[in-house]
Structure 1
Amino acid sequence: MQIKGDFHVHSNYCPHGTNDSMEKYIEIAIKHGFKHLSFTEHAPLPEGFIDPTPDRDSGMRWDEVDDYINEISKLKEKYKRFISINVGFEVDFIEGYETETKKLLDRFGQQIDDAILSVHMLKAPNGEYVCLDYSLEEFKRITDLFDTIDHVHKAYYHTVVNSIKTDLGLYKPSRIGHITLVNKFSKTCKPINDYKKEVMTILHLMKEQQLELDVNTAGLYKEHCGSIYPNIDLLEEAGQIGLSLVPGSDSHTYTHIGRGFDLLPSTLNYSIPRK
């Protein structure tokens, strides 16, 4: 089935991304033949939460959000004859900051078209918050905090389950992002268990709550991963239980729009996000 768009895209508003203009993203998407494009920029982190990354660059600044939304609104109009553009967020689910995250969604929910709920941050046993996917060196440090690689995986999947179950209000995102992100460094930091049972639990829970799955090709191009998030076997399981599969490149530069889509199983049906 032909993929109609790229629905997980970061822009020049991403502090750890690119300076490429959003017009470049749009033009390359049109060149690929896409009819849809979702900008899902990293939303500002919850008020009161201190970004654990060294450069504190995990999300966009609060004072940039209006400019981000306004710029995409203008581009929607400019390119409406060629492509449908969504303004959206990738929202972090952080245990302990559920109320603040709901406030963020309530504040901007009416102004956005699309959103993804993702887990990047974990709360370690010592109470420290860590960013799971920052670097291999940081992942090894995180492993020490949790004692074992498997404890990191268990904590990650537990947090993903909580993100699905938690009531974040009327504007809670309907799509769950890169549900196996914890595997980003798995070629080097390999857990003992495969965690298929945990992922299947998540997929069935998503189906119960009518949530969409972010079919994220970025992991294919990570040195220590080399796999779609989730992998093809799990993706086919998701398709069999009837989950909506929404493809996203997780691009942080315009040249990565649609990257890896040709490697997705052609036997599956891919959806556009519901409004």
Structure 2
Amino acid sequence: MKDGHIHSPYCPHGSKDDFEKYIQRAIDVGLTEMTFTEHFPYPNGFQDPAPENDSCMNPENLSNYLNDVKNFKQKYESKIKINVGAEVDFLEGYEEDIKNNLDKYGDELEDSLLSVHIIKIDGAYCCVDYSVEEFQNLIDKLGSIEAVYNKYYETLIKAVNADLGTYKPKRIGHLNLVRKFNQVFPYNYEGNKVLEELIKLVKEKGYELDYNVSGNRKEYCKEPYVDGYLLELAKKYDIPLVLGSDSHCAEEINNYDIG
């Protein structure tokens, strides 16, 4: 079993568990493969909209991160397959900058994710998953919960279509992250046409989906980020699913069943 979405001590909003604690936990729960997918640094000039400015890795740490994972990959090669990876944020309007960053470091990345945490509204960049209060602000700006979902899915369509070069990740991270606060803002997205358009595009492009179970751990979500209608669509269009614990500490790694 592979876990394709694991963070590291380089994550500014995670724990300080060291690499070996993550690796030993993965071995203990019976995983045979794991990918470290730390948040790739934002392009120069992009201002992190999170209040703590802690969404991604400091660019000064990127080389050290890549070297550390490579070293542990070699050290543990007889016990578990470790992949060097990253979680790359799609930022509408910064496609060329993201491509340039991937061109610079992509040949060192073996297995990565393309995720959307941020949507652009009237020229401003807004976090989808930061807090209940911020999600309410999105609803106020766009006019309805459905409009927030559609804006999020439309941004993902742009991400899937974007030319990010040779090293563009081929797996989409936590596709239904927009449901992080669904217990507070319930919305029945079954039959959503924009989502089905997105899934058809994922299939056409030959991408995988991150079967991200971290939503189960979130107070206002209580479901994996591929669940319900989205899981039905993934099965309908035969989209490959890869387990992602989205672990930000070692104890969150487990040998989960995929829906």
Superposed pair shares fold, TM > 0.5:
yes
**Counterpart residue identity of residue 219, structure 2:** E
Q: Which one of the candidate residues 231, 238, 250 is aligned to 2:227?
A: 231
Q: Which moved more, 1:190-199 or 1:90-99?
A: 190-199
TM-score with structure 2 setting the length: 0.95
Look up the match of 1:36: 33
Look up the match of 2:242: 246
Q: Which moved more, 1:249-258 or 1:191-200?
A: 191-200
Q: Is contact 2:190-2:229 (8 Å) kept?
A: no
Look up the match of 2:86: 89
Look up the match of 1:220: 216
3-state SS in 2 of match to 1:114: coil
Q: Which one of the candidate residues 183, 207, 220 is aligned to 1:187?
A: 183
Look up the match of 1:173: 169
Q: Does 1:208 align with 2:229?
A: no
Q: 1 CA distance for matches of 2:93 and 2:138?
A: 19
Look up the match of 1:269: none
Q: Which one of the candidate residues 14, 21, 25 is aligned to 1:24?
A: 21
Alignment of 1:27-176 (within 5 A): 27-125=24-122, 127-176=123-172
3-state SS in 2 of match to 1:185: coil
Q: 2 CA distance for matches of 1:168 and 1:43?
A: 14
Any gaps of 5 or more consecutive residues in structure 1?
A: 266-275
**Counterpart residue identity of residue 9, structure 1:** I
Q: 2 CA distance for matches of 1:109 and 1:70?
A: 14
**Counterpart residue identity of residue 54, structure 1:** P
Shift of 1:230: 1.7
Q: 2 CA distance for matches of 1:159 and 1:62?
A: 25
Any gaps of 5 or more consecutive residues in structure 2?
A: none
Query: Identity of aligned pairs, percent?
Result: 44
3-state SS in 2 of match to 1:109: helix
Shift of 1:95: 0.6
**Counterpart residue identity of residue 217, structure 2:** Y
Look up the match of 1:199: 195
3-state SS in 1 of match to 2:93: coil
Look up the match of 1:268: none
Deviations 1:190-231 (A, max 9, x none): 236545433222222111111011100011111111111121
Q: 2 CA distance for matches of 1:228 and 1:216?
A: 6
Deviations 1:208-257 (A, max 9, x none): 11101110001111111111112144324313422111110101000001
Do the aligned partners of residues 67 and 195 (structure 1) sit closer, same or farther apart at CA in structure 2, a change above 3 Å counting? farther
TM-score with structure 1 setting the length: 0.90
Q: Which moved more, 1:238-247 or 1:110-119?
A: 238-247
Q: 1 CA distance for matches of 2:83 and 2:142?
A: 38
